[in-house]
C-alpha cells in the first residue's frame, strides 16, 4: 500500500498512486486535445468568471480510463454510509492547467449524476507534475501541496480552492467517485 496522509475521514492523500510515466502520458494527452479557458457553474448556467477561476481546462469522457483508474484507487475508496456502495469512477474527466497567476477561488465541487441515478460524492484529484511553485489545494483546516503521482480524495461538500500558481505550470486530472442511487 502507498503512504496515506489522512487529514480527516473526508480528506486524504495517497502518495505516488500514479507512476511518473502515467502522469507524463496524461499531460501529453491533455495537451494534444487542447486546453480552453475554464468556466464556472452558476444558477444561470456556465459563465466565465475570471475573478473566481482563470485556469484552463480540457473535458472529455473515457470509460476505459475510468475503469483503469478505478482499479488503482479501489483499495482506498470507502462507502460514505452503509446504504451506498461505490460503483466506480466518473467517466467524465477534467484536466486542469494552471499557469503563473492562475487560480480557482473558494468553492464547493458539484455532483455528477448519471441517468440511472448514480451520483458522485467524492472528488478525486491526481497531481500530474511537481515543477511549479504555489498552487496548493487549500481547505479550511488543511493545505495540500501534492507531488507528481499523488491522489487527493475529498468529500464534495468541503469548501476549498486552488491557490495561485507563482511559477511553472501545474497540471491536475480530476474525476469523481460514483455511488449507486439512493433507494427511497
C-alpha cell at 157: 461538500
Report yes or no: 152 and 137 within 8 Å, Cβ to Cβ. yes
What CATH number is given for 4-179 in this structure? 2.60.120.620
Task: State the distance between the two ends of the chain, measured CA to CA, in whole angstroms.
Answer: 37
**CA-based max dimension of the chain:** 50
Report yes or no: 7 and 142 within 8 Å, Cβ to Cβ. yes
What pLDDT shows up at residue 53? 80
The whole-number mean pLDDT for each consecutive block of 10 residues of the chain, a chain of 184 residues, reads 92 98 98 86 64 85 98 88 84 97 92 92 97 96 95 96 97 96 62
What pLDDT shows up at residue 37? 74
Per domain, the residue ranges of the chain are 4-179
**pTM exceeding the 0.85 threshold for the entire prediction:** yes
What pLDDT shows up at residue 84? 79
C-alpha cell at 142: 488543511
CA 157 vs CA 72, 121, 129: distances in Å: 24, 8, 26
Amino acid at each position: 500500500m502507498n503512504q496515506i496522509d489522512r487529514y480527516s475521514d473526508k480528506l486524504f492523500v495517497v502518495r505516488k498512486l500514479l507512476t511518473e510515466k502515467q502522469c507524463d502520458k496524461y499531460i501529453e494527452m491533455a495537451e494534444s486535445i487542447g486546453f480552453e479557458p475554464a468556466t464556472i457553474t452558476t444558477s444561470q448556467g456556465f459563465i466565465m468568471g475570471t475573478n473566481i477561476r482563470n485556469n484552463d481546462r480540457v473535458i472529455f469522457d473515457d470509460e476505459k480510463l475510468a475503469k483503469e483508474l478505478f482499479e488503482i484507487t479501489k483499495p482506498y475508496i470507502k462507502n460514505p454510509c452503509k446504504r451506498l456502495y461505490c460503483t466506480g469512477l466518473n467517466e467524465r474527466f477534467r484536466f486542469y492547467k494552471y499557469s503563473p497567476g492562475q487560480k480557482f477561488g473558494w468553492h464547493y465541487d458539484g455532483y455528477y449524476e448519471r441517468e440511472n441515478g448514480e451520483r458522485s460524492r467524492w472528488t478525486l484529484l491526481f497531481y500530474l507534475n511537481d515543477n511549479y511553485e504555489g498552487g496548493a489545494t487549500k481547505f479550511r483546516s488543511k493545505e495540500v501541496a501534492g507531488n507528481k503521482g499523488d491522489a487527493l480524495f475529498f468529500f464534495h461538500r468541503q469548501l476549498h480552492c486552488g491557490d495561485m500558481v507563482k511559477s511553472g505550470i501545474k497540471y491536475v486530472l480530476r474525476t469523481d467517485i460514483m455511488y449507486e442511487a439512493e433507494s427511497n
